């Protein structure tokens, strides 16, 4: 029995030999969900989702890079002066002609799309010099906190109470009586050892002292 699998787009089940793999996303699709690659002309090379992304890509906000740039600068400074050419490089496109001719284009009005870029980042336009082609931004609010900072700095719901600390135990110092007794024992042991080692002969072992008297000798055994 041939192996089967389902199409990643329509969900129908087909044998594996009737499914094809998309060259872009790498998933399996049926022939109805595959189309010709517009760039290379190869038939049944891309799925319909990948082909749609190539033909009509999603448009991003033109001034989104300027917003991110000002947010990053907000962590280090409160004053930023940029030239019009520098802003063109940040957004990856040219500013409209009104930005070079009139100062009203640089008004801090939330209704305009380009002004929302610096207003949402916490900045506002302070001064515009059309002759030199420069604009000065001043920070009005703190940059938005990231998720990591929110987790790190959480407001305390209850007042902080330190854990109870047990007092340290003082080291016990032996009394003078115990020290005197210990010193006397050491001296007695030292004297006893010296008394046993006196004379020419070695001291008798404890077993011999216990079994035999000093004036008798053990009888010889056959």
Which CATH number, 3.40.50.10310, 3.30.40.10, 1.10.260.40, 3.30.530.20, labels domain 4-55?
3.30.40.10
* Residue listed under structure tokens 């209850």: 158
Q: Look at the block and give the residue holding tokens 């002759």.
A: 131
Distance CA 199, CA 77 (A): 96
Encode burial over 66-99: b for 16+ CB neighbours within 10 A, e otherwise: bbebbbebbeeeeebebebeebeebbeeebeeeb
pLDDT of residue 1: 47
Predicted TM-score of the model (pTM): 0.42
Query: In sequence order, what are the residues at sequence separation of 6 or more whose Cβ sits closer than 8 angstroms to the Cβ of residue 87?
Result: 66, 95, 135
Report the alpha-carbon distance of residue 133 to residue 127 in Å, rounded.
11
pLDDT mean by block of 10 residues, the chain; 222 residues:
75 85 86 83 83 72 87 88 89 86 90 88 91 91 55 62 78 84 86 68 58 56 52
Q: How far apart are CA 112 and CA 105, in angstroms?
A: 9
DSSP 164: P
**How do the domains of the chain map onto residue ranges?**
4-55, 64-139
Distance CA(31)–CA(21), nearest Å, equals: 10
């Amino acid at each position: 029995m041939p192996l089967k699998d389902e199409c990643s787009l329509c969900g129908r089940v087909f044998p594996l030999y009737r499914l094809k793999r998309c060259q872009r996303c790498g998933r399996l699709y049926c022939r109805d969900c595959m189309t010709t690659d517009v760039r290379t002309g190869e038939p049944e090379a891309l799925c319909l989702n990948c082909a749609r992304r190539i033909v009509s890509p999603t448009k991003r906000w033109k001034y989104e890079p300027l917003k991110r740039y000002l947010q990053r600068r907000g962590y280090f400074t409160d004053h930023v002066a940029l030239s019009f050419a520098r802003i063109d490089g940040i957004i990856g496109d040219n500013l409209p002609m009104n930005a070079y001719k009139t100062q009203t284009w640089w008004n801090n009005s939330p209704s305009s799309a380009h002004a929302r870029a610096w207003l949402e980042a916490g900045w506002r336009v302070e001064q515009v010099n059309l002759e030199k082609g420069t604009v000065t931004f001043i920070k009005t609010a703190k940059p938005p906190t990231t998720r990591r900072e929110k987790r790190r700095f959480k407001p305390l719901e209850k007042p902080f109470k330190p854990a109870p600390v047990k007092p340290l135990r003082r080291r016990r110092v032996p009394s003078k009586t115990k020290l005197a007794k210990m010193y006397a024992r050491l001296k007695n042991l030292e004297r006893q050892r010296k008394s046993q080692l006196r004379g020419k002969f070695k001291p008798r072992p404890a077993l011999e002292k216990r079994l035999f008297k000093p004036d008798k000798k053990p009888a010889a055994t056959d």
